[in-house]
């Protein structure tokens, strides 16, 4: 059975008091069913507190980014090796904001995927098309190319440590979510590409999350789709009650 996951990407938000309140608000959350998971991705400066407060709960703590070199003169970066040594469990790789604002291309993202997996971190691999591509109708080719160039060099064994998050860029932070039919169709295409590259078995066991304006009031419909295994949530994860409501929709 595929793991169902709700993950919260805090992005560059929250001051120390706000983040403390948010951790306190979710720390007692327990899923009743075993194949469901909650993950949080706070800014680096709050990872220590997240691990202290949430580390003993079933909630897993991840980082929003990591560099592929293990150490050295890379001012401002934090390596996958450092994250692992810090007991962080997973890392977002390939988020559209990293791609668009910080110029990360498929080749850089591939190196980050490799570095994270080599350290034993779980990779939440983000993919998704910009609006122009959706309007042209070539979104499937665009997303599959992202997978082919940054992910599909992995072995089937390595894929066990990868979760895919499909986040159409036009739906991120815009309040304009993909319809459940659009999300399910892309997730189905991604799953078919994994089956083609690896096997039906790998495809059926890879969790694929949807991200882009997930809210308590659209989560139930999105998560009910056959190929949607949960969500990567931005804005709505910053309020404990909303994040928990979304988790309850899994
Ligand atoms: O980018 C996202 C999560 O990584 C989605 O952000 P929003 O939920 O704010 O649209």
Atom of ligand 1 nearest to the CA of 126: 4
Q: Identify which of 7, 163, 233, 237 to mutate to test ligand 1's pocket (most ligand atoms within 8 A of the CB).
A: 233
Atom of ligand 1 nearest to the CA of 236: 8
Is the Cβ atom of 213 under 6 angstroms away from ligand 1? Answer: yes
pLDDT of residue 56: 81
Is the Cβ atom of 235 under 6 angstroms away from ligand 1? Answer: yes
Q: Could you give the CA distance from residue 178 to residue 182 in angstroms, rounded to a whole number?
A: 6
Q: Identify which of 96, 99, 127, 211 to mutate to test ligand 1's pocket (most ligand atoms within 8 A of the CB).
A: 211
pLDDT of residue 242: 97
Q: Identify which of 6, 232, 246, 249 to mutate to test ligand 1's pocket (most ligand atoms within 8 A of the CB).
A: 232
Give the bridge partners for 208, in sequence order. Answer: 164
Is the Cβ atom of 232 under 6 angstroms away from ligand 1? Answer: yes
Question: Which residue's CA lies nearest to atom 7 of ligand 1?
Answer: 234
Phi-psi region of 122 (alpha: psi -120 to 50; beta: other; left: phi over 0): beta
Would you call 153 a catalytic residue per the annotation?
no
Question: Which ipTM value was assigned to this complex?
Answer: 0.99
pLDDT of residue 31: 77
Is residue 163 within 8 A of residue 5, CB to CB? The reply is: yes
Entry pTM: 0.97
Q: Could you give the CA distance from residue 196 to residue 190 in angstroms, rounded to a whole number?
A: 10
Boundaries of every domain in the chain = 4-249
pLDDT of residue 14: 98
Query: If you write DSSP's letter for every residue of 120-150 in order, what string do you get?
Result: TPEEEEEE---HHHHHHT-HHHHHHHHHHHH
Distance 10 CA to ligand 1 centre (A): 9
pLDDT of residue 55: 81
Q: Which of 214, 145, 209, 206 is nearest to 178 (CA)?
A: 214
pLDDT by 10s per residue, the chain, length 250: 799 999 999 999 999 999 999 999 999 888 777 789 999 999 999 999 999 999 888 899 999 999 999 999 999 999 999 999 999 999 999 999 999 999 999 999 999 999 999 999 999 999 999 999 999 999 999 999 999 999 999 999 999 999 999 999 998 888 778 899 999 999 999 999 999 999 999 999 999 999 999 999 999 999 999 999 999 999 999 999 999 999 999 9
Distance 232 CA to ligand 1 centre (A): 7
pLDDT of residue 172: 86
pLDDT of residue 177: 81
- The single residue of 37, 104, 129, 167 carrying the catalytic annotation is 167
Task: Mark the binding-site residues, compressed into ranges.
Answer: 9-11, 173, 213, 234-235
Is the Cβ atom of 214 under 6 angstroms away from ligand 1? Answer: yes
Is residue 221 within 8 A of residue 233, CB to CB? The reply is: no
Is the Cβ atom of 173 under 6 angstroms away from ligand 1? Answer: yes
Q: Which of 165, 194, 179, 185 is nearest to 62 (CA)?
A: 165
Helices (H), the chain: 16-26, 47-54, 80-85, 96-101, 106-118, 131-136, 139-150, 156-159, 180-197, 200-205, 216-223, 240-248
Q: To 5 degrees, how large is the angle CA 132–CA 135–CA 140?
A: 90
Would you call 95 a catalytic residue per the annotation?
yes
CATH architecture type of domain 4-249: Alpha-Beta Barrel (3.20)
pLDDT of residue 176: 79
């Amino acid at each position: 059975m595929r793991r169902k996951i709700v993950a919260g990407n805090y992005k560059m938000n929250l001051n120390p008091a706000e983040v403390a309140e948010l951790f306190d608000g979710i720390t007692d959350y327990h899923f009743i069913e075993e194949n469901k998971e909650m993950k949080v991705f706070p800014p680096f400066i709050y990872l220590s507190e997240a691990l202290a407060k949430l580390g003993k709960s079933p909630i897993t703590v991840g980082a929003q980014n990591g560099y592929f070199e293990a150490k050295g003169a890379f001012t401002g970066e934090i390596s996958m090796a450092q994250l692992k040594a810090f007991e962080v469990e997973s890392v977002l790789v390939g988020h559209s904001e990293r791609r668009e604002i910080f110029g990360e291309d498929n080749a850089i993202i591939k190196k980050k995927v490799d570095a994270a997996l080599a350290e034993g971190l779980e990779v939440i691999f983000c993919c998704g098309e910009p609006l122009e591509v959706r309007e042209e109708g070539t979104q499937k080719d665009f997303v599959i190319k992202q997978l082919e160039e940054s992910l599909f060099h992995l072995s089937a064994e390595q894929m066990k440590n990868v979760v895919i998050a499909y986040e159409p860029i036009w739906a991120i932070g815009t309040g304009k979510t993909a319809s459940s039919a659009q999300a399910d169709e892309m997730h189905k295409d991604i799953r078919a590409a994994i089956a083609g590259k690896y096997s039906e078995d790998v495809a059926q066991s890879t969790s694929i999350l949807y991200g882009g304006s997930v809210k308590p009031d659209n989560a139930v419909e999105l998560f009910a789709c056959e190929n949607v295994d949960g969500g990567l949530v931005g804005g709505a994860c910053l309020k404990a009650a909303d994040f928990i409501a979304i988790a309850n929709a899994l």
